[in-house]
């Protein structure tokens, strides 16, 4: 046979054909095995908020950590993801906005226990929040970062708060904040709030001190409070506790479903303000204002309040508001839009167009959209 090999044994020919058929499969399998694994992203671009100094990493803007840490099955005292809805964090990066302003030099620390730090600026008092109770290695790592940056444990707070997966610290040098922020498992760094007790109304009304307005005050009756210590223990309030969900003002048993009604005082206030024909209502921030966090993504959760607004303002005075990017603290823009669109799904096309853009154009005096 010319132009090719000659095989005297038919089995040899069949074996060769079989091997040739296997070659593409083996090559494809090898290509799949060599495909590099795609790593899950850990950071995203920063969110810039007008009026808020951005968090700087040297000369560049800090990327925003996603802060989705695996708890590895460990028990935790806080619901997963609570930090995504932390209030003083408009740029959603896990650093308290007030601390960002201090880092930028906008103002100095307001901590009552502040001392002069290594760089000559006042130290801060903070809470370092973790996704789950901090381990011994995480506590040790945090102390190491503090000490490297000039923190002295003697005379400072370092309290591990097991009930809220946080560590309270004061005398923290500003140089340490970014390094703490980068530690694994850290989800938020909070500035400790400073409470200023004015007591300008409570003291006179309780008739404690001698007063020109009240007679028979405690001091006038000889009670001075010497040697008496009063402690107020506040562990927080569970606003979904069954004993606190009887908001319908009816003297009966607590309601079984806290979402089966709306507060009649709120309804009355909405109806009263809606009587003014020049008042419009913008529906926005549903995720942020939800008493349940993480905020539900089902329209049925928000329907009682939305029904009240629809009844009060109608199709001509309701305006759509996205509250983006703040709404991302409670969910994605798509999730929020889906909730609102589902509510208006059974409304007329005219009502939907008015709500999503025509009412806003009219109210703000904007030119009509060109198709």
pLDDT band of 74, cuts 50, 70, 90 = low
Mean pLDDT of the chain: 80
Q: What CA–CA distance (Å, rounded) separates 110 from 116?
A: 12
Q: Is the dihedral of CA 208, 212, 214, 215 positive or negative?
A: positive
Range scoring the smallest mean pLDDT among 36-50, 313-327, 343-357: 36-50
Range scoring the smallest mean pLDDT among 223-232, 279-288, 354-363: 223-232
pLDDT band of 1, cuts 50, 70, 90 = very low
pLDDT at residue 7, as a whole number: 47
What residue spans define the domains of the chain? 43-191, 202-230, 261-364
pLDDT band of 194, cuts 50, 70, 90 = confident
Task: Select the highest-mean-pLDDT range: 32-36, 226-230, 317-321.
Answer: 317-321
Q: What CA–CA distance (Å, rounded) separates 286 from 297?
A: 10
Q: Is residue 4 pLDDT above 50, yes or no?
A: no
pLDDT at residue 54, as a whole number: 94
pLDDT band of 300, cuts 50, 70, 90 = confident
pLDDT digits (tens, 9 = 90+) for 112-147: 999 999 999 999 999 999 988 899 999 999 999 999
Q: What CA–CA distance (Å, rounded) separates 115 from 108?
A: 11
Residue with more model confidence, 303 or 212: 303
Q: Express as a percent the part of the chain with pLDDT over 70.
A: 73
What integer is the mean pLDDT of 202-227?
72
pLDDT at residue 29, as a whole number: 47
What integer is the mean pLDDT of 62-71?
83
pLDDT digits (tens, 9 = 90+) for 335-360: 889 999 999 999 999 999 999 999 99
Write the CB contacts of 265 (distance below 8 Å, at least 6 apart in sequence). Answer: 249
Residue with more model confidence, 278 or 217: 278
Q: Is residue 235 pLDDT above 80, yes or no?
A: no
pLDDT digits (tens, 9 = 90+) for 159-185: 998 778 899 999 999 999 999 999 999
Residue with more model confidence, 293 or 86: 86
pLDDT at residue 236, as a whole number: 62
What integer is the mean pLDDT of 219-238?
70
What integer is the mean pLDDT of 274-289?
88
Residue with more model confidence, 130 or 369: 130
pLDDT at residue 35, as a whole number: 57
């Amino acid at each position: 046979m010319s132009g090719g090999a000659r095989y005297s044994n038919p089995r040899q020919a069949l074996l060769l054909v079989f091997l040739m058929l296997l070659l593409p499969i083996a090559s494809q399998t090898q290509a799949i095995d060599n495909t590099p694994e795609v790593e899950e992203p850990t950071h995203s671009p920063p969110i810039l908020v007008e009026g808020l100094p951005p968090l700087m990493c040297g000369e560049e803007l800090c990327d925003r950590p996603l802060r989705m840490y695996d708890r590895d099955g460990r028990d935790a005292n806080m619901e997963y993801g609570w930090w995504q809805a932390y209030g003083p964090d408009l740029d959603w990066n896990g650093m308290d906005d007030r601390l960002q302003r201090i880092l930028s030099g906008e103002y100095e620390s307001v901590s009552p226990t502040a001392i002069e730090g290594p760089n000559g600026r006042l130290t801060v008092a903070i809470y370092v929040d973790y996704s789950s109770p901090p381990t011994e290695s995480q506590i040790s790592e945090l102390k190491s970062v503090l000490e490297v940056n000039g923190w002295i444990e003697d005379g400072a707070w370092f309290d591990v708060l097991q009930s809220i997966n946080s560590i309270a610290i004061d005398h923290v040098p500003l140089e340490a904040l970014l390094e703490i922020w980068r530690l694994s498992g850290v989800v938020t760094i909070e500035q400790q709030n400073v409470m200023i007790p004015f007591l300008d109304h409570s003291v006179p009304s309780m008739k404690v001190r001698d007063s020109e307005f009240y007679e028979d005050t405690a001091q006038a009756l000889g009670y001075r409070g010497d040697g008496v210590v009063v402690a107020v223990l506040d562990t927080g309030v569970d606003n979904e506790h069954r004993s606190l969900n009887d908001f319908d003002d009816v003297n009966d048993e607590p309601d079984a479903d806290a979402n089966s009604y709306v507060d009649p005082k709120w309804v009355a206030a909405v109806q009263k303000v809606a009587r003014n024909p020049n008042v419009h209502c913008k529906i926005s921030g549903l995720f942020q204002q939800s008493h349940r966090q993480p905020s539900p993504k089902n329209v049925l959760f928000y329907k009682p309040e939305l029904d009240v607004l629809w009844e009060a303002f109608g199709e001509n005075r309701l305006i759509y508001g996205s509250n983006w990017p703040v709404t991302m603290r409670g969910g994605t823009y798509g999730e929020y839009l889906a909730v609102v669109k589902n509510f208006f799904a059974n409304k007329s096309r005219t009502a939907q167009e008015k709500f999503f853009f025509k009412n806003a154009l009219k109210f703000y005096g904007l030119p009509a959209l060109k198709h």
